[in-house]
Amino acid sequence: MINIILAVLSTLGALAILFASIGILRMPDFYLRLSVTVKASSLGVGLLLICAAIMFPGDASVTTKAIAIIFFLIITAPIAAHMIGRTAYFIGTPLWKGTVVDELDGMYNKETHELQSDPRQAVDKSTSPLDDQIADTEDETK
Amino acid sequence: MIKNFLMNLLLSFLWVALTGSLSYSGFAFGFILGFFVLWIMNKNEEEQRYFYRVPKIFSFVFYFLYQMIKANIEVAYDVITPKYFFRPGVVRYPLSARSDFEINALSTLISLTPGTLILDVSEDKKALYIHAMYLKSPEQFVKQLKEGMEKRLLEIIR
């Protein structure tokens, strides 16, 4: 019985990591790559660690370590993704050409790095209509 | 609130000590037992909140796991099939959460569900900017998040 659970969980974990790595290759722009990778890999690693905890049922130290690793992974992974994504947007990495809406456009004050929350205070976009970050061609995001 | 939680913890440690085996399943059983003992013994009306909050926390954990697995399958399907189904976009999300801890918890949870990525929090802590992968319309996305994740989270924290 335990063997079946172990097999199912570890297969799912390995598949999640596999899909994340295929996602890096296939996604069209940087933000989609980031958002596919971080979550799927944390789910995959989490499932594999749960497997390790189930594998040694009598040993409380293994379970404790597995729980601690999952806890710190859950805390740190989103922060890393947030910092990378923010920096990427700030230095002007283009969004995919199929992007529907970009409400962050013009909200940054490029000198002070301050971010407005009110759309009415945004920088006037009419002066430079072509200056948005949504890519016009497929090649720009490569 | 915190007094009840510490009592509950103490009761579960007592259970572990009395049964003589230190294991997670024993601890969890002791915790559940202690929870019901405290609930029956509790006479103070003001202290009732703890007993509604603990089941809510557990239901939130399962709700979150369900959302995470659902979104993972969606993204995985999109990755392995040749056609792209997604409509990405950056959405402005007005926050109801006020304190730093609430915003931190909410953005961590939103970031952990696949397909959504926090890009930044505005300077005055009133809005989040979220990069979403499947966007039918921005209003619908914001409404869904507000009534699902944020409402449940704030019920627990506040």
Say if residue A36's pLDDT is above 50: yes
Closest Cβ opposite residue B87 in set A39, A63, A98: A98
Same domain, B67 and B132: yes
Alpha helical stretches, state H, chain A? 2-26, 30-55, 60-90
Same domain, B68 and B32: no
Best to test chain A binding among B75, B113, B134 (most A CBs inside 10 Å): B75
Same domain, B128 and B144: yes
Please give the ipTM for the structure prediction: 0.77
Domain boundaries, chain A: 2-90, 96-142
Same domain, B62 and B125: yes
Nearest to B86 by CA among B58, B114, B121, B120: B114
A 84-103: CB under 8 A from B: 85-86, 89, 95-96, 98-103
How far is B9 from B15, CA to CA, in rounded Å? Answer: 10
Same domain, B98 and B149: yes
Same domain, B39 and B60: no
**pLDDT band with cut points at 50, 70 and 90 for residue A137:** low
Lowest mean pLDDT among A38-47, A102-111, B148-157: A102-111
Same domain, B88 and B23: no
Same domain, B29 and B83: no
How far is A36 from A19, CA to CA, in rounded Å? Answer: 9
Same domain, B105 and B151: yes
**pLDDT band with cut points at 50, 70 and 90 for residue B135:** confident
Same domain, B80 and B152: yes
- Percent of chain B exceeding pLDDT 90 equals 5
Q: Is A23 exposed, middle or buried (0-12, 13-18, 19+ CB in 10 A)?
A: buried
Q: Which residues of B touch A118 (CB under 8 A)?
A: 126
Say if residue A68's pLDDT is above 90: yes
Mean pLDDT in residue range B99-122: 85
Give the total number of structural domains in chain B.
Answer: 2
pLDDT confidence of residue A110? 64
How far is B63 from B147, CA to CA, in rounded Å? Answer: 13
For residue range A92-133, what is the model confidence (pLDDT) as tens digits?
Answer: 778 877 777 777 776 666 666 677 666 666 655 544 444 566
Same domain, B75 and B106: yes
Q: Which residue of A has its CA nearest to B120?
A: A86
Give the helix/strand (H/E) hosting B29. helix B24-41
Residue range of the domain that includes B18: 2-43
Same domain, B106 and B145: yes
A 13-42: CB under 8 A from B: 15-16, 19, 22-23, 26-29, 31-32, 34-36, 38-40, 42
